[in-house]
Amino acid sequence: MIDTNKIVLTGIKPTGIPHFGNYIGALKSIIDLSKTNKTFMFIADLHALNSIHNPEVIREHTYQAAALMIAMGADLNNTVLFRQSDIAEIYQLNTLLMNLTPKGLMNRAHSYKAMVDKNNASDLDPDAGINMGLYTYPILMAADILLYNSDIVPVGADQKQHVEFARDIAGYFNHTYKPLFKLPEPLIRQDAGLVPGLDGRKMSKSYDNTISLLAPEAELKKKIMRIITDSKTPDEAKNPDESTIFLLYKHFATEPEITEFAEMFRRGGMGYGTAKQILFDKVNSVLAEPRKKYENLMANTAEIDNILANGANYARQIASKKIEEIKHAMLG
């Protein structure tokens, strides 16, 4: 159980309509915590800038991410939902923290190293296609986390290192100047696992095997029916834990339903077509309401703008006070 006095924060990078993997691996935790804790949830559009250079696309993805969080139940009474780029103090803190962050720390970032490895494997210059936004990504993320005094940062497993960097950077600051920063802790959902995509590999935009969380009903059905299965006949017993169908189902059903579905796999007698239909019926019934809410919001983006503007006003109050303290500590 998380102490309800703790401040929770996460950023959602607007790079496309969130899929089942994003929701199960990262977004669900923060939506759940928003029901009990003060929560900062922002759309990390500045982080998307290192890969998306089209403003309309960033804007559209920002609306999609914000609408999805609201539709999936983020509790707006406890949640400060805002757009990262609306807070001027974030650019300031980013510049200030640059001067405390060792270059070597950035060299060790998994996301940067993965790009370098890819370039090396293709015989390209190691830094080909890598801009400074990508290279210094963890500093901006540390600024996000530290500016709002966050205690707990729910993230997908791949983001854990970035939160640890934020902790390191907070430590350098506290040691060099004065202890203005809390040391944040990552919160990783242990039970999420890696959500498989349509082809059985990790669900990921880069593999083109995703299912959009709030896709229209017909698209959801089409995608679920396209899940790749092995060649077992309906009569054969199957291992639920090796089936993408079951691995998706278990995140939407109740405990007794999960036990029963697993039993149907093990017993044999259920073909994959039937299993897919059961998965579709379950997911479709759970997501019908949120989907309606999402579609309404996307048809009325002025309402999203309004929510984001209110969130930014609140976030700015915290940020402006904090940045004054930091500037005073660093610049006198």
The yes or no reply on residue 158 touching ligand ADP (CB under 6 A) is: yes
Q: Is 101 in the site for ligand TRP (CB under 6 A)?
A: no
Contact residues for 48 (Cβ-Cβ < 8 A; gap 6+):
13, 14, 15, 58, 61
Instruction: Report the distance separating Cα 286 and Cα 278, nearest Å.
Output: 12
CB-nearer residue toward ligand ADP: 61 or 291? 61
Task: Give the C-alpha distances (Å, rounded to integers) separating 237 from 50, 196, 261, 263, 278.
Answer: 48, 21, 13, 10, 17
Judged by CB under 6 A, which of 6, 7, 8, 10 binds ligand TRP? 10
Closest CA to 223 of 150, 156, 280, 161: 280
Residue 163 as a binder of ligand ADP (CB under 6 A): the answer is: no
**In angstroms, rounded to a whole number, what is the distance separating the alpha carbons of residues 68 and 181?**
31
Segment contacting ligand TRP (CB under 6 A): 9-17, 189-197, 208-216, 310-318? Answer: 9-17
Give me the 15-54 binding string for ligand TRP, x by CB under 6 A, dash otherwise.
-----------------------------x--x-------
Q: Does 15 sit near ligand ADP (CB under 6 A)?
A: yes
Q: Does 180 bind ligand ADP (CB under 6 A)?
A: no
User: What, of ligand TRP, ligand ADP, none, does residue 141 touch, CB below 5 to 8 Å by kind?
Assistant: ligand TRP
Pick the binder of ligand ADP from 28, 59, 205, 232 (CB under 6 A). 205
Q: Which residue is nearest to ligand TRP (CB)?
A: 11
Compose the 152-191 pattern: x for residues touching ligand TRP by CB under 6 A, - for all others. Answer: -x-x---x--x-----------------------------
Q: Is 22 in the site for ligand ADP (CB under 6 A)?
A: yes
| Binding of residue 141 to ligand TRP (CB under 6 A) | yes
Site residue total, ligand ADP (CB under 6 A): 20
22 binds, among ligand ADP, ligand TRP, none (CB under 5 to 8 A by kind): ligand ADP
- Among residues 57, 106, 192, 258, which is the contact residue for ligand ADP, using CB under 6 A? 192
State which amino acid sits at residue 182: K
Q: How far is the CB of 228 from ligand TRP (least distance, A)?
A: 27
Among 36, 204, 277, 284, binds ligand ADP (CB under 6 A): 204
Name the residues that contact ligand ADP, by CB under 6 A.
13, 15, 21-22, 24-26, 155-159, 192, 194-195, 202-206
Name the residues that contact ligand TRP, by CB under 6 A.
9-11, 13, 44, 47, 141, 144-145, 153, 155, 159, 162
